[in-house]
Amino acid sequence: MPAFTLYGARGSSNTDRVRLTLAEGGIKDYEVVFLNLQNGEQRSEEHIKRNPWGKIPVLVTSGNLTLYESRPISKYLAKKYAIPLLPADTDLEAVALFDQAQSIETLYFAEPAGKISFEKFLKPILGLPVNEAAVTEAMRSLETFCDVTERHLNQHSYMAGDEFSLVDIYYIPLVQRLFVCGYGEVITGRKALGAWWERCINRPAIKEMLAADKAAAPAAFSKKS
């Protein structure tokens, strides 16, 4: 019996955040159940019992823990499996800097990048009209984020300091989505940010997972699952 089940969806950036964490740790003893979001399976009575917000990802362990929200799930798994992606609890300064970097990712990056992904990736799939004004505003916030982060990365190799950490993983799915939507230039157009991105996606486990997902994508989506 697998140690846990991850309820997610194909092509979901929030699910991929957790899968990347597990890939980095070489954890394979788990089951993934992909829900069909277009059919509304995330709002089924069964799934609402797992997550009252009707969203994925959700982690259910054999020890009866049910946990939602991709970042807390990733952090729990990193701790549980001792994946070296977190500062030591006893290093208060490193933990504080990690928490700071985590807040920045969620508030100043994922917020505008998520809006761009919603408008330019999801809405066209759903046949909905794109709100270009919302995209322009989100791009403005994203440019500001990238300018500030470029200065940080001129001093440090990674988002939470000089070591690759869970915060860098948090970024990967939505940065990838920016590239898919044609906005990769905000990253590659800045020297330090571009170099950081190359370092992240060239990590062996991450490279392997991203390549496998890319190869599987056409077949997966043609099955409409």
Ligand X SMILES: N[C@@H](CCC(=O)N[C@@H](CS)C(=O)NCC(=O)O)C(=O)O
List residues binding ligand X (CB under 6 A).
9, 12-14, 37, 42, 54-57, 69-71
**Least separation in angstroms between CB 174 and ligand X:** 10
* Exposure of 39 in the CB half-sphere (CA atoms within 13 A): 9
Residues 6+ apart with CB under 8 A from 70: 14, 15, 17, 18, 57
Transcribe 109-170 into DSSP letters.
Answer: IIHHHHHHHIIIIIHHHHTPPP-HHHHHHHHHHHHHHHHHHHHHHHH-SBTTBSS--HHHHH
- The DSSP letter of residue 68 is E
Q: Which residues pair with 7 in a beta bridge?
A: 33, 58
Using Cβ positions, the residue closest to ligand X within the complex turns out to be 55
- Between residues 38 and 62, which has the closer beta carbon with respect to ligand X? 38
- Between residues 15 and 149, which has the closer beta carbon with respect to ligand X? 15
**Least separation in angstroms between CB 182 and ligand X:** 20
- Between residues 13 and 149, which has the closer beta carbon with respect to ligand X? 13
For the chain, the farthest-separated pair of C-alpha atoms sits apart, in whole angstroms, at 50
**Least separation in angstroms between CB 188 and ligand X:** 24
- Between residues 153 and 178, which has the closer beta carbon with respect to ligand X? 178
**Least separation in angstroms between CB 219 and ligand X:** 20
